[in-house]
Amino acid sequence: MISETDKYTYRVTWSEEDAEFIGLCAEFSKLSWLAPHPGEALQGIRSVVKDCVEDMLENGEDIPRPIASRHFSGKFMVRVPPEVHRHLATEAAESGVSLNRLASAKLAH
């Protein structure tokens, strides 16, 4: 059976500073787990998140919804300096695409 904590966004990466793998969870950005092997780092962060969620529920706290379960509209607003806006608008016009399409393509890279 899949639990809510199974749906969270986990990542394992190398920590040069600690010389170990570090397990992270996007929905709980302050939690981490260090281990000498990537599988152990993943297992560790999953366990820490599970314990944290159980504790939060016992204390009546709201737990974060998994990113994968959230609805995204595909729209967000970004503020840039006027000179950047002008440069992007010029680049879009010269490329024959909309500013939105140009920005979307740049963000996708």
Q: State the pLDDT at residue 15.
A: 97
Count of the separate structural domains present in the chain: 2
CATH number at residue 41: 3.30.160
Query: What predicted TM-score, i.e. pTM, was given to this entire model?
Result: 0.76
Q: What is the pLDDT of residue 1?
A: 87
5: enclosing H helix or E strand: none
Domain of 51, in residue numbers: 4-68
Mean pLDDT by 10 residues, the chain (109 residues): 93 98 97 98 98 97 95 93 95 94 93
At residue 71, the pLDDT reads: 94
Q: Can you give the pLDDT at residue 2?
A: 87
14 and 50 housed in the same domain: yes
Q: What is the pLDDT of residue 81?
A: 96
3-state DSSP percent of the chain in helix, strand and coil, to 5: 50, 15, 35
